[in-house]
């Protein structure tokens, strides 16, 4: 038999794929629980739990219920939770509840850090859960999101969360200059160890719908969009400029959001900057996979783990994913 490959049979690529031990020895990327960040939705009140219809398996929880979830995360070795609040009272045009020291998020942060000091806690730096219009910032009479005025509120929010003891503040608002402003504010107030995970390349994606259902901002946003501050999905070079600016302003880590449709962005960012780089496997990615699993179209465990490995292969140091608990259980089994 004649083969076109002049290196065959001296080089047989399948030779190393034949046995489990050799496949393991040549594996280029490894996923561990250390790569996982678990996003959670927290409710006001006590003894409350609400399923998110568009995200099967995901629930909104009051603090007392969330503590049990946090305990599971600690037991499974997941390094960090990311908190997203469901604000049911106190929304206004000025997002004043975002920096209420006795508000939902600071209260939850204090409780989590007291109960689980070893668990990393991240909070979201954006105003959409707190505004009546569902935008990530303050708006003018035309509905345009104001950059500098929003940044002033984000500073107050960040300082409020830092005072409560948060480990990582994650500005996801996409305002210009907010990372430098936050870093200066943290340093001036003595919060020199408060880390900033900047959502540097956050795209105006159609994959966020279930998340907006979960935090209750979808109804407030209505038919409005976020195109005037989130990035155009067509752009890659712009993401590099955004990351470069955030790093120069003092970000410790950077995030690309969404994840799987933007693997090329993750790879380019990692190759360019070689800094801690994270990806968010967003609600729409999770929801479409879960729908396929529930219909029996895809193998749940295998596809879940393959999707997470894609982020590692693209260069992500960690993944914010709603699959975190399930993936950690699979990894524990080995």
- CA distance linking residue 152 with residue 202, whole number of Å: 20
Contact yes or no for 61/42 (Cβ under 8 A): yes
Residues marked active site are found at: 202, 257
The token pair that represents 161 in the structure block:
């969360």
Taking the C-alpha atoms of residue 168 and residue 165, their distance in angstroms, rounded to an integer, is 9
- Between strands 168-171 and 120-125, the pairing is parallel
Sign of dihedral through CA atoms 313, 275, 151, 160? positive
* Max CA separation in the chain (angstroms): 77
- Here the tokens at position 10 are 């001296």
- Residue (of 324, 285, 264, 322) closest to 32 by Cα position: 324
Of 278, 287, 331, 333, the residue nearest 82 (C-alpha): 278
Spatial separation of the C-alpha atoms in residues 91 and 131, rounded to whole Å: 5
Residues written for the chain? 334
Q: Looking at the chain, which runs of residues are DSSP E strands?
A: 36-43, 49-51, 59-62, 80-86, 120-125, 168-171, 195-202, 253-257, 277-281, 318-321
């Amino acid at each position: 038999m004649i083969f076109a490959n002049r290196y065959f049979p001296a080089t047989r690529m399948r030779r190393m794929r034949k046995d489990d031990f050799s496949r393991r020895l040549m594996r280029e990327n490894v996923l561990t629980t250390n790569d996982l960040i678990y996003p959670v939705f927290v409710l006001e009140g006590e003894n409350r739990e609400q399923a998110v219809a568009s995200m099967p398996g995901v629930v909104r929880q009051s603090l007392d219920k969330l503590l049990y979830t946090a305990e599971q995360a600690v037991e499974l070795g997941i390094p960090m939770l990311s908190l997203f609040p469901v604000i049911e009272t106190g929304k206004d045009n000025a997002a004043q509840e975002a920096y209420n020291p006795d508000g939902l998020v600071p209260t939850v942060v204090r409780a989590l850090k007291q109960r689980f000091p070893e668990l990393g806690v991240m909070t979201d730096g954006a105003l959409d859960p707190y505004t009546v219009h569902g935008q990530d910032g303050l708006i003018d009479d035309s509905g345009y999101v104001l950059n500098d005025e929003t940044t002033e509120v984000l500073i107050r929010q960040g300082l409020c969360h830092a005072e409560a003891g948060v480990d990582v503040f994650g500005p996801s608002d996409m305002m210009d200059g907010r990372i430098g402003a936050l870093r200066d504010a943290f340093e001036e107030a003595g919060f020199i160890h408060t880390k900033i995970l900047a959502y540097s390349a956050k795209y105006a994606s159609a994959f966020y719908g279930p998340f907006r259902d979960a935090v209750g901002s979808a109804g407030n946003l209505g038919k409005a969009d976020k195109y005037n501050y989130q990035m155009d999905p067509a752009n890659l070079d712009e993401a590099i400029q955004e990351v470069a600016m955030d790093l120069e302003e003092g970000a410790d880590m950077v995030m690309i959001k969404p994840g799987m449709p933007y693997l090329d962005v993750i790879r380019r960012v990692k190759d360019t900057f070689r800094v801690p780089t994270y990806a968010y496997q967003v609600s729409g990615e999770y929801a479409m996979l879960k729908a396929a699993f529930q219909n029996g179209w895809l193998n749940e465990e295998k596809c879940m783990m393959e999707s997470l490995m894609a982020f590692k292969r693209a260069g992500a140091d960690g993944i914010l994913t709603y699959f975190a608990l399930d993936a950690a259980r699979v990894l524990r089994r080995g």
